[in-house]
Amino acid sequence: MMQLSERLIKSFVVCNRCLIGQTGKVISSDTVGGESKCCYICKGLWERMESIARAVKSTGNKHDFNTFLIGLTIPPSMCEREDQLRSMYKIRGRETIKTTFTRAIRQRFIELSGKYLDLLHPDIIIVIYIGDDDNGEFRLSVRSKPLTLRGVYIKNNRHMFLQCIGPIPCSIDNPCSIEDILRSKLLSETGAESVSFSWFGREDKESLVLGKGRPFYATLKNPRRRYLKHDLRFESNDIRVRIHKEPAFLPRHLPPLINKIRVVVSCEENEKIDPTELKILNKQEIICVKFLNKNANNIKLIYSMSARHLDMRRFVLTMICDGGLPVKRFIDGYERTMPNVAALVDKHCKCDVFDILDLSVQEDSINQSEIELN
């Protein structure tokens, strides 16, 4: 009985690689398929494998990676011809040309690059798009795994906001926000397409951030360089930043903060504040502050509080409290925030400015050590 491979080449021009793929057997010396470029199934795809693999390596060299995954998209007409041939000769259980070629190109890329195949969490994913029949064209797309870095900033400039507040973005030469400064630096260092930030709390737009600084996460989309040699340290517009070189894990929920805050409080012009009236604000016990947030009652804790007289109308209040405490509302008692400073001293009080003297992150939930600028 005539072998399947012999029957195939009597009816079609099929190259040796496609014959092996359809029959699952090594072709004998007296059974030789046609040229690859004339093959009924692949139309010369196997003949172009080396040039495609080297093009993939050249494209991959533009990215930092240790692991990869290569995918393949072939023309529908190639799949249709293969299905037609298999139906005619009742070929079942054999790998398709797409599967076979993908495995072969992955193996050749391993040989050329020395990198490792990772099917689940690769550093980069390279997709090969094979063009229509006979033109021999193909194109490549490369996507790298998002990279998350952790950093911390100190702010000594009251005129530099955390984020832009206007509808028009800041210019590169004159950034008006910390986010703009960080974005420009990170995109330049990593070659990423974009970056998103997760902040450990937020300060008022005119507040200073001192002490060890405020931590944040930066998640970079499609970075080309993911292995930084050194921590990124830079200063701009009285903003000091350190970004750790090691990739970080972005937790689903950021851990809570404990803030040390300094508030300058003033009374109305017709009111005077005496130093003796501030004794009620010197507390070392825990205070539960209740306030409304999105029509729901919330509670934040103040762990200690002390007041210092400045002049007849002003005083300084220093607190250690939970992150997220509405400082201005705690001072003036807005929307039934209780207790509040205005009620405690029986004056019409308002917050002139407040600064973050220090903050600490409750790290137990993410098991990371605090990043410092020192």
The pLDDT tens digits for 219-275 are 999 999 999 999 999 998 889 999 999 999 999 888 999 999 999 999 998 999 999
φ, ψ (nearest 5 deg) of residue 124: -135, 150
d(C-alpha 281, C-alpha 58), whole Å: 67
Show Cβ contacts of residue 127 under 8 Å, excluding neighbours closer than 6 positions.
70, 71, 72, 73, 140, 141, 142, 143
pLDDT at site 65: 95
pLDDT of residue 91 exceeding 90, the answer is no
Task: Answer whether the bond into residue 215 is a cis peptide, omega within 30°.
Answer: no
pLDDT at site 33: 52
Percentage of residues of the chain with pLDDT beyond 70: 90
Who wins on pLDDT, 306 or 15? 306
- The class (CATH top level) of 4-144 is alpha beta
Q: What is the CATH number of domain 257-361?
A: 3.30.70.3190
Looking from the CA of 261 toward its CB, the CA atoms found within 13 Å total: 30
Start-end ranges of CATH 3.30.70.2510 in the chain?
A: 147-254
d(C-alpha 86, C-alpha 80), whole Å: 10
Residue-wise pLDDT for 119-166, tens only, equals 999 999 999 999 876 677 899 999 999 999 999 999 999 888 888 766
pLDDT at site 370: 43
- Could you name the CATH architecture of 147-254? 2-Layer Sandwich (3.30)
Start-end ranges of CATH 3.30.2300.10 in the chain?
A: 4-144
d(C-alpha 156, C-alpha 209), whole Å: 7
pLDDT at site 163: 84
Give me 169's structure tokens. 């973005």
pLDDT of residue 363 exceeding 50, the answer is yes
